[in-house]
């Protein structure tokens, strides 16, 4: 995932999906993949090139939780609230992370370092409760282990590697 996209990226995405019925969501996924979120300027440019009004684009962007409208910050902390994780204490982990970082779910810290979000099931319920920091998966998380990871987070690249 590249953290920044360019006008050329938007043009390529628009060209790929233009005139294909029902493809707006795919194009918006394309934008989020390039930028890490959907910047307003990119949405406007996409709308112009695909001939889709901005109002429609934002209907879609705000309907689905998956899309982010703000830069997510360097480290994305995702607390899984799927059933298994929920039962194993995910709500407590979420409030702990929220307290620790001083932000609510969906927000980014003022210094742009952390973004906190809720996800629904990451597909490894046996390891519940699960938290991911960037692409790194933390299993059987406790309040203490979560705090330790927030103090020394890995970067997106580390996570990938």
Partner 1 sequence: MIQATINSLPVEVAPGATILDAARQVSVHIPTLCKHPDLEATAACGICIVRVAGSTKMLRACCTPVEADMEITTEDPEIIQVRRTVVEMILSRHPNECLTCGRNQNCELQTIAADFGLREICLDSIVPDLPIDNSTRAITLDPRKCISCGRCIQVCQQIQDVWALSFLQRGIDTRIAAAGDISLADSPCVRCGQCSAHCPTGAIVEYDETQEVWDKLLDPDAFCVAQLAPAVRVAIGEAFGFPVGTNLTGKTYAALRRMGFKAVFDTNFGADLTVMEEAHEFVGRFTNAKSVLPLITTCCPSWVDFMEKFHDDMIPHFSSCKSPQAMVGALAKTYYAEKMGLDPAKVYVVSVMPCTAKKFEIIRSKEMHSSGFWDVDVSLTTRELARMIKQSGINFRVLAEEQPDHLLGAYTGAGTIFGATGGVMEAALRTSYYLMTGENPARLEFLKTRGLDGVKEGKFDIAGKEIRFAVAHGLGNVETVLTKVREARDAGTEPPYHFIEVMACPGGCVGGGGQPYGVTDNLRAKRAAGLYQDDQAGLWRCAHENPYIQKLYEDFLGEPLGEKSEQLLHTSYHPRPTYRR
Interface residues toward partner 1, by CB under 8 A: 40, 43-44, 53-59, 61-63
| Cα(121)–Cα(85) distance, integer angstroms | 8
Q: What are phi and psi of 95, to 5 degrees?
A: -70, -35
The least distance separating partner 1 from the CB of residue 44, rounded to whole angstroms, comes to 6
In terms of CB distance, is 60 or 121 closer to partner 1? 60
Give min distance, CB of 77 to partner 1, in A. 23
Please, what is the minimum distance in Å from the beta carbon of residue 39 to partner 1? 12
In the complex, the smallest distance separating the C-beta of residue 130 from partner 1, rounded to whole angstroms, is 26
Structure tokens at 157: 């690249």
Residue nearer to partner 1 on the CB measure, 14 or 130 = 14
Residue ranges of E strands in the chain? 75-80, 114-119, 131-133, 136-138
State the nearest-atom distance from the C-beta of 59 to partner 1, in Å: 5
Indicate the residue among 41 and 113 with the shorter CB distance to partner 1. 41
Q: Which is nearer to partner 1, 69 or 84 (CB)?
A: 69
In the beta sheet, which residues pair with residue 114? 75
How distant, in Å, are the alpha carbons of 4, 13, 14, 60, 95 from that of 57?
A: 20, 14, 13, 5, 32
Q: Name the residue nearer to partner 1 (CB basis): 10 or 61.
A: 61
Residue 36 near residue 72, CB atoms below 8 Å: yes
Sheet containing strand 136-138, strands side by side: 114-119, 75-80, 131-133, 136-138
């Amino acid at each position: 995932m590249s953290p920044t996209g360019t006008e050329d990226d938007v043009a390529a995405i628009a060209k790929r999906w233009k005139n294909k019925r029902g493809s707006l969501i795919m194009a918006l996924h394309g934008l989020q993949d390039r930028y890490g979120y959907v910047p307003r300027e990119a949405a406007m440019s996409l709308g112009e090139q695909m001939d889709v009004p901005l109002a429609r684009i934002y209907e879609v962007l705000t309907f689905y939780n998956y899309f982010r409208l703000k830069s997510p910050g360097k480290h994305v902390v995702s607390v899984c609230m799927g059933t298994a994780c929920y039962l194993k204490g995910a709500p407590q982990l979420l409030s702990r992370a929220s307290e620790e970082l001083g932000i609510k779910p969906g927000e980014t810290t003022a210094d742009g370092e952390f973004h906190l979000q809720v996800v629904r099931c990451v597909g490894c319920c046996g390891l519940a409760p699960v938290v991911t920091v960037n692409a790194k998966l933390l299993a059987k998380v406790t309040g203490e282990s979560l705090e330790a990871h927030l103090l020394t987070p890995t970067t997106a690249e580390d996570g990938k590697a």
